[in-house]
Structure 1
Amino acid sequence: MNWESARQFWEMGGYGFFVWGSYGVTALLVAAELLLLARRTKQARALATQDAALARIDAERRSGS
């Protein structure tokens, strides 16, 4: 398509609100997913560290008996 002005580009023939709105919602959801993924990763690493520490303590108790 060929636009005569930047305003026509942003308006997208009357559909600009829907076009740019869908891009905005998509960007927001992708950002939210990345934040939630980072939080889940942090929790999983903390749980794995805790499990390893408990396994090490259990192994020390068994070998000491």
Structure 2
Amino acid sequence: MNWESWSAFMDMGGAAFYVWGSYGVTALLVIVELVMLRARRVSSTRRLYRLQRAAAGRKLSEAQP
């Protein structure tokens, strides 16, 4: 598709709100997904660390006479 100018490109033949809105919503959802994945990874890493420390503590208490 060829446009006469950048403003015609940005207008998208009258469908600019739909087109750019779709891009905006998609970008927002991708960013939210990345933030949620990072938060989940941090939470899981902390939980695993706590579980490892608890397991190590149990092993030490079981090994002591």
- TM value normalised by structure 2: 0.96
How far residue 16 of structure 1 moved from its aligned partner, in angstroms, is: 1.0
How far residue 4 of structure 1 moved from its aligned partner, in angstroms, is: 0.4
Shift >3 Å, 4+ stretches = none
**% identical aligned pairs:** 42
- Number of positions where the alignment pairs a residue of Structure 1 with one of Structure 2: 65
1:5-50 Cα distance to aligned partner (Å, 9 max, x none): 1111011111111001000000001001101111110000000000
Are residue 31 (structure 1) and residue 60 (structure 2) matched?
Answer: no
Distance in 2 between residues matched to 1:2 and 1:60, nearest whole Å: 73
Distance in 1 between residues matched to 2:42 and 2:31, nearest whole Å: 17
Are residue 7 (structure 1) and residue 28 (structure 2) matched?
Answer: no
Distance in 2 between residues matched to 1:29 and 1:3, nearest whole Å: 29
Distance in 2 between residues matched to 1:15 and 1:60, nearest whole Å: 68
Structure 1 spans left out of the alignment, 5+ residues: none
Structure 2 spans left out of the alignment, 5+ residues: none
